[in-house]
Amino acid sequence: MVTTDATGELPDSRTESDGSAVVRVLGYNIRSMRDDEDALARVIRACAPDVVLIQEAPRFFRWRKHAARLAAKSDLVVLGGGATAAGPLLLCSLRATVERTEDVLLPLTPGLHRRGLATAVVRFGRARLGLVSCHLSLRADERYAQAGMVLDRVAALGTPYTIVGGDLNERPGGPAFTRLTAELRDGWAVRPWGGEHTSTAADPHQRIDAILATPGVEFLGCGVPQGLDPVDLRAATDHLPVLAAVRLPAGD
């Protein structure tokens, strides 16, 4: 079994002879690409992800071109989401075989931002994986309700394994975070690696971004990657990325 620790390197992506797969998943709030786009792409490339679960993707004028340009600069392709999911976006490498995608808009609370989910079902080798990118509300009651909607969507995907990546706008132990982790495993809590705090990039002092997974997904390491260019990290956006390596058992 592949293992890692907080100071070691995460395993590289690969597909085993039995059809199981090691997959690298990146979660990242990119603040609508309002900062240094080239620095953002360099950070993503340095993480060598198979899948990127993005929050705060561009949502307005020519948003598709912005998303496509970021994907190209990051050596990835657009999988789904963006403005049609109210901000969450999915990117992936050509290693992923795409089964389907769906963008979901959550109920709108008057006076607050519309929220949504970018979802997909993909395959790596013989492993079938659901993906959900989410960005929960700043308001506590709405955030708690949205956490339940994320769990509903995970169940509706119908996949043996699912990974959720999001800006949860809440620290571990909060009601929404706790609601999610009652059913999903928190990668940092299960197999911490790298750094813990994700916000802000200039002054990391809290963990409000997470990669979560259904039981059966084996975390090989999860946290803020160390050793990346600190200038790029601060220039790219106001959050730090969360990177996880997971092992997915082969399906039938």
List pLDDT tens digits, range 128-181: 999 999 999 999 999 999 999 999 999 999 999 999 999 999 999 999 999 999
Give me the residues paired with residue 103 across strands. Answer: 118
Residue 3's contacts (CB-CB under 8 Å, 6 or more residues apart) are 220
- Given this model, what pLDDT does residue 242 score? 98
CA 9, 10, 14, 15 dihedral sign is positive
Given pLDDT bands bounded at 50, 70 and 90, which one contains residue 25?
A: very high
Q: Exposed, middle or buried: residue 252 (CB in 10 Å: 0-12, 13-18, 19+)?
A: exposed
Q: What is the pTM assigned to this prediction?
A: 0.95
pLDDT at 226 over 70: yes
pLDDT given for residue 6 in this prediction: 43
Q: Which residues, in sequence order, are CB contacts of 77 under 8 Å at separation 6+?
A: 71, 91, 92, 93, 94
For the chain, give the percent of residues with pLDDT over 90: 93
